[in-house]
Amino acid sequence: MTNKPVYPKASASGASFVAASPSFPALEEAVLDYWKKDDTFQASIDNRDAGENGANEFVFNDGPPFANGLPHYGHLLTGYVKDLVARYQTQRGHKVERRFGWDTHGLPAELEAMKQLGMTDKQQIIEMGIDNFNDAARASVLKYTKEWEEYVTRQARWVDFENDYKTLNVEYMESVIWAFKQLHDKGLTYEGFRVLPYCWKDETPLSNHELRMDDDVYKERQDPSVTVAFRITDDASLAKHPEVAADLAGVEALAWTTTPWTLPTNQALAAGPEISYVVVPGAGELEGRRFLLAADLLGEYAKDLGYGEAENPADAAHEAVLATYTGTQLEGVRYAPLWGYFTDAEKFGTEKAWQILVADYVTTTDGTGLVHQAPAYGEDDQKVCEGYGIPVILSIDEGAKFLDLFADSSLADGAPLAEIAGVQIFEANRTIINTLKVDGVLIREKSYVHSYPHCWRCRTPLVYRAITSWYVRVTDFKGRMSELNEDINWIPENVKHGQFGKWVENARDWSISRNRFWGSPIPVWVSDDPNYPRTDVYGSLAELEADFGCLPLNKDGEVDLHRPYIDELTRPNPDDPTGKSTMRRVEDVLDVWFDSGSMPFAQFHYPFDNKEWFEAHYPADFIVEYIGQTRGWFYTMHILATALFDRTAFENVIAHGIVLGSDGQKMSKSLRNYPDVSEVLDRDGSDAMRWFLMSSPILRGGNLIVTEQGIREGVRQVMLPLWNVYHFFALYTNAANGGAGYEAKLVTEAEHVMDRFILGKTRQLVAEVTEAMDAYDVSAACEALRTYTDALTNWYVRRSRERFFNEDTAAFDVLYTALVTFVKMAAPLLPLTTEEIYRGLTGERSVHLTDLPSPADFKDEAELLALMETTRAVASAGSALRKAHKLRVRQPLAALTVAVAGGKDLAGTFESIIADELNIKAVELLDAAEVAPADFGISQQLKVNARAAGPRLGKQVQVAIKASKSGDWRVTEDSTVVVGADNMTLEPGEYELETVVAETDGAAERAVSVLPGGGFLVLDTTLTDELRAEGTARDAVRAIQSERKDTGLNVADRIELTITAPAADLEAIKKHEELVAGETLAVAVTYLEGAEFSATVKKA
């Protein structure tokens, strides 16, 4: 009858033993199933007291994703961070609710619905019916909720799906319209007719911040650029300098544009006030004409103006200059419109159009120094023209097609642009250019490649277009936004005053209305008769019901604030004594970013519910999203928090980098440049993925290339070593006491130096992980855990194997303590693996229901740790020396000289460790301060890599090279290389340090290494016959141990051993028979002579 193993005490899979080689994905599935049955997640919330008025609650805002697509690596990354922070704070004793949310409104939802319905434009939506289309949008946004739940669960992320919030819920939307009304009541909203980025495919404006969220919003695009001649007239009615206007009559002003399609609505030219402009006669085919352009750009146009035959066209053009003017002198000079479509001043209000204006933004960087003004299609154009009383004239419809008026010959004689009527603007460019050529005013045409904005949702090239929109007056309080930004802890820190801070400093008013269908309504009703103007704004269902006598109800009789039901609420205009006008809602819906920016309060239906709780818990403790949200969700939350509450929306924020494909490019399904998420989870497991992402620089703002090798590295570095130690512990404790096992206990102090070391390292681990996680420095926490794993596995366990074999209960207790503490500290980062190990060690319900240990739980062993770290450094350097000189570690060597700071403090215990670790018979310890490397013929040479250092240092690289050769350099305590009298620093990769051993007697029998941070080793490499014999015996031990393992013997089994080897090797082994037998547990040894070494083992 066999004894039941002590460990594992519990296992999610029900295993009765700890497997030597686990399948982490299978293990994870078992843990996930255990959590589900045990309801561990809910227990982690319930077993934490919220405290008085919720003082012990930790609040994080879970940015809502869209559920109309499957999760990708970006979602996984953010989800892992959210989960680990919540788990960590729970272990810190806080109550952490984790309510999931869904972003459901806006263009993403509409585009998906249109795709599913086979639609291409808004008119099809109107024909279908807004109610039917919005039903389709509602269904599309929740299409993948089940798949999302499966992904989120598989990544071991604990969230509350049952009580999730959706931005389409009426409670959420009511909070959104409340926010709008609050802004309106504070005078922070207005309706304006302004130029905005406009998506002609989706037929809606965008906010300026939406153009800066993703790097690929701006893409290179090739467009035609044209330089056009505008003939100046003799009309001096608007001229500030009539004499200049008179002189310029008949001269043609040259203007350049990359948007030929805007020329039909040209209404002015802009000149820079301080720029010098010249009049130059045309030559060649242009002889008899005179042209006006900036003096600095005349040379650029010399050939176009007919001077191409001259030896030096630019000089020839400058010599021909007839007159020079400043931009200020040109103000008010009038010119003839290119075409006559908008010359009816009474109809179009163009009595002041077609004049030269003065604008500070005009430069001579490119073009002609005169800028074509089309106020309907340029933000600067509109502002400048507005100051001169020049109106905005739209020439295109919502789909960016030219209006039919261009075919109207009554507006322009002969309708010269009739062909562009109904044509999309980019397709009309060629027709417009050809017409300019026929009219003789096209001076130059070139192809122009430039960075051009595209719609962040449908990737269509945008246009800038004047449109009526509602705005938030962000410019009124952006200073306060900057002040409040100082209260936010940004990770990485540079985002505060960099990407986010600078964006806030330059904030513009926010366009919050969209000419769409599926979204929260703009709660504004206006009179339909301008003779009786009135505007009403509503911020609650109660206010709506009070004025309209009812609430908007959908087909199912439910209260619904969506279109078209909200549009159906109308009432007579109270300010109209005739009773004929009606109050109707403006048709626009709110920008989806207004929805998500309202999330902190709208998810709680504030202020209608949870008012006291929300006000006591705002701002949130933590949020996380990718860096692009500095112009998106982070930004809009900050706007609304400042305007509504005069507070920040969040106290701590991680703005992580972008996950890239294996080729360093943006992830692409078509390119298949990233491993499939499901395949990785099935093959390597979620913990491997979590560790890979969390330990990378991405949480410090860097980007990350996803590779299968990188994901598996976490398994190799941490997960497998951790499991191996767990397996090792279970193996030896279960075998103790004749197989009855040993029940280990937690300890905080120890006597053995190795035990003291690992407990001291454990104290250090707890302190470092706690400090890092409190500062949201997740990768630093990962590094602390990785470093500890190395110390535990490659030092403590390896050097303590004999004690475990001898059933040293102190070693069992210490290793048990180390493992339990480690899995508690690592639980947020490896939640599945640590759960299995913790339950296997303790039998308790869950590691995620435990409190984190405190450094104070362990004795401070700082002095011992310092000595042991020096010992490890010596052992590492010595091992590298052996490897470099091809001296296997089983081959004993006679002597090692160690010169380090405080070297004599290593005498005794640490000296013995060094000797044993490096297989050295005698170790000489010296204090580095008392000896010089030169005394041992050791020196270092610095070689500066000019090619690597040159780009950074410039000419100073020669100074560095000279100093390195003269010996004028040093290495500081932090291993920085400093050269020359000016203390110039060299960076890694810019130099090489080479250790040189002088040619002295015995130099060939020495191996020398300089230690990082100071000190050196001298290894005696002389091999005597006795040393060789012991090396042979130790090689035999290794081979025999391998045979034991292959035979399947238990670690404590005694054996009968037969060794076959050449005579010389047998003699060496016999000399050290006690060593061989003791190490291999052999009770009897038989020797046979043979050509090659072999060992046969049999259980005794």
Clarify whether residues 252 and 298 are in a common domain: yes
Which CATH number characterizes residue 108's domain? 3.40.50.620
Clarify whether residues 174 and 237 are in a common domain: no
Clarify whether residues 286 and 406 are in a common domain: yes
35 classed as catalytic: no
Task: Taking the CA atoms of 382, 385, 389 and 391 in sequence, report the sign of the dihedral they define.
Answer: negative
629 classed as catalytic: yes
1045 classed as catalytic: no
Nearest-CA neighbor of 761 among 853, 859, 829, 695?
A: 859
**Residues 4, 37, 347, 669: which is the catalytic one?**
669
Helices (H), 686-752: 686-694, 708-714, 720-735
486 occurs within a structural domain = no
Clarify whether residues 97 and 156 are in a common domain: yes
Number of compact structural domains in the chain: 3
373 classed as catalytic: no
pLDDT at residue number 487? 98
pLDDT at residue number 1063? 93
Phi-psi region of 667 (alpha: psi -120 to 50; beta: other; left: phi over 0): beta
The pair of structure tokens assigned to 173 is 């939307």
335 occurs within a structural domain = yes
**pLDDT, tens digit, for every residue of 451-483?**
898 887 788 899 999 999 999 999 999 999 999
**Residues 62, 83, 103, 591: which is the catalytic one?**
103
**Residues 267, 355, 603, 629: which is the catalytic one?**
629
941 classed as catalytic: no
Residue 447 has pLDDT above 50, yes or no: yes
pLDDT at residue number 855? 98
pLDDT at residue number 668? 66
Q: How far is CA 880 from CA 793, 888, 936, 971, 973, in A?
A: 19, 10, 20, 21, 22
**pLDDT, tens digit, for every residue of 867-915?**
999 999 999 999 999 999 999 999 999 999 999 999 999 999 999 999 9
Q: At residue 883, what is the residue type? A: K
Clarify whether residues 102 and 235 are in a common domain: no
Which CATH number characterizes residue 1076's domain? 3.30.2320
Residue 449 has pLDDT above 50, yes or no: yes
Contact (CB, 8 A) for 429 and 437: no
Domain stops at, among 436, 451, 466: 451
The secondary element (H helix, E strand) that includes residue 600 is helix 599-602
Segment 414-425 shows an average pLDDT of 93
Mean pLDDT of the residues in the chain? 93
* Pair type for strands 984-986 and 920-927: unpaired
865 occurs within a structural domain = no
Clarify whether residues 118 and 241 are in a common domain: no
pLDDT at residue number 71? 84
Enter the pTM of the model. 0.86
> Phi, psi (5° rounding) for residue 584?
-125, 145
Clarify whether residues 407 and 325 are in a common domain: yes
Angle made by CA atoms 470, 473, 477, in degrees to the nearest 5: 160
859 classed as catalytic: no
Q: At residue 331, what is the residue type? A: E
Domain stops at, among 666, 683, 700: 683
1004 occurs within a structural domain = no
Q: Any known ligand binding at 669?
A: yes
Domain with 270, as residue range(s), is 220-451
332 occurs within a structural domain = yes
**Residues 64, 281, 313, 523: which is the catalytic one?**
64
How many residues in total does the chain contain?
Answer: 1100
Clarify whether residues 406 and 259 are in a common domain: yes
**Residues 102, 633, 795, 969: which is the catalytic one?**
633
Rounded Cα gap, residues 643 and 632, in angstroms: 17
Which CATH number characterizes residue 298's domain? 3.90.740.10
Residue 265 has pLDDT above 60, yes or no: yes
151 occurs within a structural domain = yes
**What band does 142 get if pLDDT is binned at 50, 70 and 90?**
confident
Express as a percent the part of the chain with pLDDT over 90: 82
Clarify whether residues 374 and 438 are in a common domain: yes
Residue 67 has pLDDT above 90, yes or no: no
271 occurs within a structural domain = yes
Express as a percent the part of the chain with pLDDT over 70: 98
Clarify whether residues 325 and 252 are in a common domain: yes
> Phi, psi (5° rounding) for residue 15?
-65, 140
Clarify whether residues 75 and 178 are in a common domain: yes
Residue 1057 has pLDDT above 60, yes or no: yes
Peptide bond into 375 cis (omega under 30): no
Segment 344-360 shows an average pLDDT of 96
Task: Taking the CA atoms of 950, 953, 955 and 959 in sequence, report the sign of the dihedral they define.
Answer: negative
342 occurs within a structural domain = yes
Domain stops at, among 635, 657, 683: 683
593 classed as catalytic: yes
Count Cβ atoms below 10 Å from residue 806 Cβ, excluding itself: 10
Residue 1 has pLDDT above 50, yes or no: no
Rounded Cα gap, residues 404 and 394, in angstroms: 12
Residue 714 has pLDDT above 90, yes or no: no
**Residues 593, 691, 723, 969: which is the catalytic one?**
593
Clarify whether residues 254 and 165 are in a common domain: no
pLDDT at residue number 1067? 93
pLDDT at residue number 1003? 53
